[in-house]
Amino acid sequence: MRGGRFLTGAVRMGEVSREGKERRRGKKTMSVLSIRTVSFLGLVLLMLSASRAIGDELTIHDIQSNTTDGDASVYACDPANVDQIIDCAGGVVIGKFRGFKPRVILQDPDYPAGWGAIQVKDWVYHSDVQEWELYDNVEIGDWVSLTNVWVEEFRGTTMLHYQSTYTPGFTLISQGNPVLDAVELTAADLAFPLDHGATELYESMVVTLEQVVVGQMDLGKADDNYELIQGSDVVWAADYMNAHAGGPYDPRIETGAGLVRVTGLVEQYTDAAEGWDYYQLCTRSRDDLLAAADIPTISQWGIVVMLLSIAAAGSIMWRRERVCEA
Ligand SMILES: [Ca+2]
Ligand SMILES: [Ca+2]
């Protein structure tokens, strides 16, 4: 596996360091230049090991958790460099978004604690049958693996690109997998202003927040972000991936609205030139939102109980009539 090679690189760097220590013991002194040279060689070995990928299959966790700075994947590459095209063991489809280029979001259930999900952008359209090769042939709950894709850091979010130039492919490993549990977080885990150390590991994973209140709206790059306030912490959310929103916002989103639960995918949006740098919780469907107003009030429950009682009484009377007729 590619991840194995990455670890091999780390071991090599350690070996270089140990050799340096042995030389220090023998000669008592070692020039600063030599130490820097050894460190540089170790870094080169690490980078070389991270750049070899042909024929290897990475997990989503390999791609997301091995970073250069706690954020960008070490596997992010220039697509012109075919040495860096990879295969990915993939995961379960947890979301689909039919944007300008359709996206499929995969999450590996073997890594529920973090670094477990990734977005895949499908560039392969078959005009003869009018379908996107990946997007239109996988469903929520399918386990999908990928071959010949490449990794990009786009606006701070790690993406896999499925592009015909590199002869990509996908395999349905299994279908009908159970819905993955959303990771239960607090607003501090996803807070705005952003904290990479707290949030990056959840990128593209399904997470949930409970008991929040909608704050300001019309925020962010597309003026469609809204605040979710929980105590003194604020999270930014968006409904642009929400298939049922019918506009920039789910109809239940308005300043001051209480939400019992909000579930969605975590996405980063960073554009230094425009001054943007935030994570957003992206809902996928109306079911990802449960508003306080969605839960029947006591009086509504009273009406439900009354209707059920009438139905039950009617059923009993009907049975008695049938008995008398017999
Ligand atoms: Ca990121
Ligand atoms: Ca990432």
> Ligand 2 centroid vs 309 CA: distance in angstroms?
54
pLDDT band at 298 (very low <50, low <70, confident <90, very high): low
In this prediction, residue 301 carries a pLDDT of: 66
Distance CA 152, CA 137 (A): 23
From residue 226, alpha-carbon distances to 110, 185, 222, 259, 267 in Å are 32, 18, 11, 13, 14
Question: What pLDDT score does 56 carry?
Answer: 65
CA of 32 to the centre of ligand 1 (A): 36
Is the pLDDT reported for residue 101 higher than 50? yes
Beta bridge partners of residue 269, listed in sequence order: 278
Q: Residue range 211-237: average pLDDT? A: 98
Q: Could you read off the pLDDT of 123-141 as tens digits, one per residue? A: 999 999 999 999 999 999 9
CA of 64 to the centre of ligand 1 (A): 8
Q: Quick one: pLDDT at residue 78?
A: 78
Confidence of residue 5 (pLDDT cuts 50, 70, 90): very low
CA-based end-to-end distance of the chain: 75
Tokens 């609205």, residue located: 257
Does 297 score more than 50 pLDDT? yes
Pairing of strands 169-174, 57-58: unpaired
| Token output for 193 | 């202003």
**Mean pLDDT of all residues belonging to the chain:** 83
Query: What confidence score (pLDDT) does residue 10 get?
Result: 28
Residue 199 CA, ligand 1 centroid: distance in Å? 9
**Distance of CA 203 from the midpoint of ligand 2 (Å):** 6
Q: Is the pLDDT confidence value at 205 over 80?
A: yes
155 Cα to the center of ligand 1, angstroms: 8
Give the number of the ligand closest to the Cα of residue 62. 2
Looking at domain 183-294, which of 2.60.40.180, 1.10.4190.10, 2.60.40.2310, 2.40.50.140 is its CATH number? 2.40.50.140
Average pLDDT over residues 200-225: 98
Say if domain 56-177 classifies as CATH 3.30.420.40: no
Please indicate whether the domains covering 56-177 and 183-294 agree at the CATH topology level: yes
- Asked whether the predicted pLDDT for residue 317 surpasses 60, the reply is yes
- Domain layout of the chain by residue ranges: 1-52, 56-177, 183-294, 296-326
Kindly tell me if the per-residue pLDDT of 88 is higher than 80: yes
Check residues 265 and 43 and name the one with the higher pLDDT.
Answer: 265
* Number of CB atoms found within 10 A of residue 144's CB: 23
Ligand 1 centroid – CA 28 distance (Å): 44
Confidence (pLDDT) at 33: 37
| Window from 11-15, 228-232, 297-301, 321-325 with minimum mean pLDDT | 11-15
Burial of 233 (0-12, 13-18, 19+ CB in 10 A): middle
Count other C-beta atoms under 10 Å from residue 314's C-beta: 10
Predicted confidence (pLDDT) at residue 14 exceeds the cutoff of 90: no
pLDDT score for 136: 98
Three-state secondary structure call for residue 243 = coil
Q: Which of 3-12, 63-72, 100-109, 192-201 has the lowest mean pLDDT?
A: 3-12
Inform me whether the pLDDT recorded for 112 exceeds 50.
yes
Percent of the chain with pLDDT over 90: 69
241-275 confidence digits (pLDDT tens):
999 999 999 999 999 999 999 999 999 999 999 99
Residue 145 has pLDDT above 70, yes or no: yes
> Above pLDDT 70, what percent of the chain?
77
CA of 277 to the centre of ligand 1 (A): 10
pLDDT over threshold 90, residue 207: yes
Query: In this predicted structure, what is the pLDDT of residue 304?
Result: 67
Which ligand lies nearest to the CA atom of residue 116 in the structure?
2
